Amino acid sequence: MQNKLMGSVFFGILGGLLMSIVLLYMLVGIGFVYSDMMFILCVICGISLPWCLMVLNKYEWINVWVSQVLMVVISFVIILIYGIFMQSSVDVDVNMFKLIMICDGLIHGLSLLPILMRRLFKK
Domain for residue 73, yes or no?
Answer: yes
What was the pLDDT predicted at 120? Answer: 87
Residue pLDDT, tens place only, 45-61: 989 988 888 888 777 77
Is residue 19 assigned to a domain? yes
Q: What pTM was estimated for this model as a whole? A: 0.87
8 A C-beta contact, residue 71 and residue 35: no
Confirm whether 122 is domain-assigned.
no
Domain count within the chain: 1
Q: Phi/psi class of residue 32: alpha, beta or left (left: φ > 0; alpha: ψ in -120 to 50)?
A: left
Considering only 9-13, 58-62, 81-85, 100-104, which range has the smallest mean pLDDT?
A: 58-62
Q: Is 35 within a domain?
A: yes
Inside any domain, residue 121 = no
Average confidence (pLDDT) over 26-42: 86
Distance from the Cα of residue 97 to its chain's centroid: 17
Where in the sequence is the domain holding 36, given as residue range(s)? 2-116
Q: What is the mean pLDDT of residues 69-98?
A: 82
